[in-house]
Each structure stands twice: as C-alpha cells, then as structure tokens.
C-alpha cells in the first residue's frame, strides 16, 4: 500500500487492519471502513519478461511487415495527433489510458492521416514501464491496440525496463495476454476524505 502522506497512511493502516487481504481490493469492503471520495479499479496488474514477450508482427518496422498490416509511426508523446485521438475517444477512455503522462515516444497507427491507435509508457520507479494504450472507438476490435502496445513494449524492453499492464476491461486483459503478459496482482486506488 502507498499513501500520499503519513497522516493518511496512519488512517488507512488503522481502518484496514481487520480486513482480509482479498478484501483490500474490494471497493465496497474498503468503503465500509474508510471515508472514500473516489475509487479507481480494481484492476489487474500484469508483467512481461523479454523471454515471455510475443511481439505483434505488425509492430515491426514497416519494411518488414506484410503489406496488409498497419505500419507504426513513432511520434513525440505530445504530438497533436495523440491529443486528437484522446478527444475522439472521450474523457473517460482518455483518462484511463493516460497518454498525456507517457514519457516514451508515442507509437501510432494512422488511417487517412488520423491517429486511430496510440501506445506508449511512463517510466516509473524501479525501472518499471507503465503501459498506456488507446484505440479510437470506431477502430476497436481490429488488433490495433496489440500493434501499438507491442511497439511500446519492445521499446521498453530494449531500454531494460519491466513492462507493466494495468487493466480493468476484459478486452484490455486479452491484449496483454496476447503479448505474453502474466497477471500477477490486483490494484485498487482510492482517494481518502481528509475530514
């Protein structure tokens, strides 16, 4: 568990002391013992090693990909095409993906000049690469998330980082599994009222 300050940590320690470990990722159980103002999750946490990574063929450079596969373009993380995709996807999906927080390049698939899928990662402590992936609603279900995520994972592994995938939705968990990620834990984030 982490907390933003010692006061909140003490409150959380006391409130959660009697809960079984499994209940600590149950939003309802946590709300019963803590004054929670906001909840994010629960979500699964998955990781992939260089040996377990199953790279998508479409994420390789354009010259080595089959003609029918989309090519992945590498852009600056703050590129206008990335911001445009966030607007297209809407605030909920954009907020969940958190592309505005990536520190890596943005790996992008475009169609008719517009970004339809973007992947990247934010480097976290302990050499962790926290993945962010977003696909335009009209382009989902075509393997584009796997394509851009694969490029981002390959980049992270080449930099000696440990890729981490956080997922709530089954579709996101399937993309991670297809790339070789193994689910190793569950995360629940809460905002505790300061009263």
Same domain as 114, residue 18: no
User: Which residue segment(s) compose the domain that 134 sits in?
Assistant: 53-179
CATH number of the domain at 82, please: 3.40.630.30
pLDDT (tens digit, 9 = 90+) per residue, 88-103?
A: 999 999 998 999 999 9
Please count the structural domains in the chain. 2
pLDDT (tens digit, 9 = 90+) per residue, 4-35?
A: 888 888 888 888 998 898 888 888 888 889 88
pLDDT (tens digit, 9 = 90+) per residue, 32-47?
A: 898 888 887 888 999 9
Nearest to 110 by CA among 137, 76, 135: 135
Rounded-to-integer distance, Cα 164 and Cα 161, Å? 9
Name the H helices within the chain: 6-16, 27-33, 80-89, 91-97, 144-158, 170-178
The predicted pLDDT at position 145 comes to 97
Same domain as 108, residue 137: yes
Average pLDDT score, the chain: 89
């Amino acid at each position: 568990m982490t907390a933003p300050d010692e006061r909140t940590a003490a409150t959380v320690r006391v409130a959660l002391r009697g809960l079984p470990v499994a209940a600590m990722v149950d939003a309802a159980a946590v709300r019963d013992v803590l004054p929670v103002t906001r909840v994010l999750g629960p979500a699964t946490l998955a990781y992939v090693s260089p040996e377990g990574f199953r790279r998508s063929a479409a994420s390789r450079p354009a010259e080595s990909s089959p003609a029918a596969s989309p090519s992945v373009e590498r852009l600056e993380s703050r590129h206008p095409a990335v911001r445009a995709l966030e607007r297209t996807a809407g605030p909920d999906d954009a907020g969940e993906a958190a592309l505005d927080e990536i520190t890596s390049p943005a790996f992008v698939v475009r169609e008719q000049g517009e970004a339809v899928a973007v992947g990247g990662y934010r480097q976290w402590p302990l050499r962790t690469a926290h993945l962010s992936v977003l696909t335009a609603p009209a382009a989902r279900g075509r393997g584009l998330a796997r394509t851009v995520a694969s490029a981002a994972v390959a980049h992270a592994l080449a930099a000696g980082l440990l890729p981490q995938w956080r997922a709530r939705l089954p579709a996101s968990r399937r993309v991670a599994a297809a790339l070789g990620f193994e689910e190793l834990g569950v995360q629940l984030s809460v905002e505790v009222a300061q009263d």
